[in-house]
Amino acid sequence: MRIYLTEDYDAMSRRAANLISAEVIRNPSCVLGLATGSTPVGTYKQLAAWNQRGDFSFKEVRSVNLDEYKGLAPTHDQSYRYFMQTNLFDHIDIDVNNTNVPNGLAADPVAECARYDELVRSLGYADLQLLGLGRNGHIGFNEPADIFVKETHVVDLTQSTIDANARFFASADDVPRQALTMGIGCIMAARRVLLIASGADKADAVYNAFCGPIDPHCPASILQLHSDVVLVGDKAALSKLVAAGVPVCE
């Protein structure tokens, strides 16, 4: 595992974008696992700027997103398909037909989860999987639970996740209570995992994920078992790792 300590959110975003762009340059037809939420926005903005400048191309890249809210149409301004279009896909030269997000409107969500698992398998899993980190340690929408769920599945969102996402909706009552999320098995099958974290409110989650026991009540702790994990975080998010003497790179 490699840990990169950056000064602030902008520096974290640039470092993460560097790692993703290097993967695309090395393997132009790579499979990128992508995440949503506020943390990767800066990374996507940087990738779009470099792509528009002609530094590299996404034309052959295929992507698989981690999750989608159950019940939201792709055109809903809080759906994760909409997020990906407006924050990345509409600004780069990727073929939209090569981008994949679970269907939150599927008539049979269980069948949609099975379809998505098969899709990810058929692509050979992600060459690089980008992850954010919830304050409760969730990755994707894999919430704290008694077991690690391997397959893509429908999950009931915890109140802490609903509260954290309420800022994107008119009110907390409008936040969907369920989501379709890639399971731990698909995440762990990625050849490399890139976890990004920013802000003091993520310091406990980062510490618990990498210094605590491997425990499904902190889903990100499973990453301790992955052979190639890169953590990029700003000083605030990594403060407890640094205080514990965990080696970091700058």
- Active site (catalytic) residues: 67, 136, 138, 143
Cβ atoms of residues 48 and 14 within 8 Å: no
Task: List 128's β-bridge partners, or say none.
Answer: 32
Cβ atoms of residues 58 and 93 within 8 Å: yes
Angle among Cα 101, 11, 197 to the nearest 5 degrees reads 50
Cβ atoms of residues 206 and 240 within 8 Å: yes
Distance CA 179, CA 239 (A): 31
Task: Give the tokens for residue 192.
Answer: 């490399």
